[in-house]
Structure 1
């Protein structure tokens, strides 16, 4: 049996297969939607590394 913590609330989840948890890697639909809301509100984002090329692109 494997375990993982919910990425939203931290609740520990036990599972044999990922299919055991329909909302994987979250414990519930609520936590899943809270995470999605964080992305929509831009509280979470994927930032690209700053390179000379990206700096030049933004200065043009």
Structure 2
């Protein structure tokens, strides 16, 4: 039996063998990409990796303009 999910964009049922899986169509895939690109979606989990946190901190110290852009 083929597995299925709902398209994250339009909620239509999509079978796992669909070439656009997990989206129902190329249109829905592009709409989703556009939402990521425009900032509609955000990853809300805080960064836990101490090395990455140190690197970000160092980068902000070296480039103070980065903080001004937000």
TM-score for both structures, normalised by structure 2: 0.59
Greater percentage in strand: 1
> Rg larger in 1 or in 2?
2
Alpha-carbon RMSD across the aligned residues, in angstroms, is: 2.4
Ranges of 4+ aligned residues in structure 1 off by more than 3 Å? none
Structure 2: gaps spanning 5 or more residues: 62-70
Please list the CA deviations of residues 13-35 of structure 1 after superposition, one character each: whole Å capped at 9, or x if unmatched: 2x3xx3x2111100000000000
Structure 1: gaps spanning 5 or more residues: none
TM-score for both structures, normalised by structure 1: 0.67
**Matched residue SS, 1:33:** helix
**Matched residue SS, 2:32:** helix
Q: Distance in 2 between matches of 1:4 and 1:34?
A: 18
Higher relative contact order (CA 8 A, sep 6+): 1
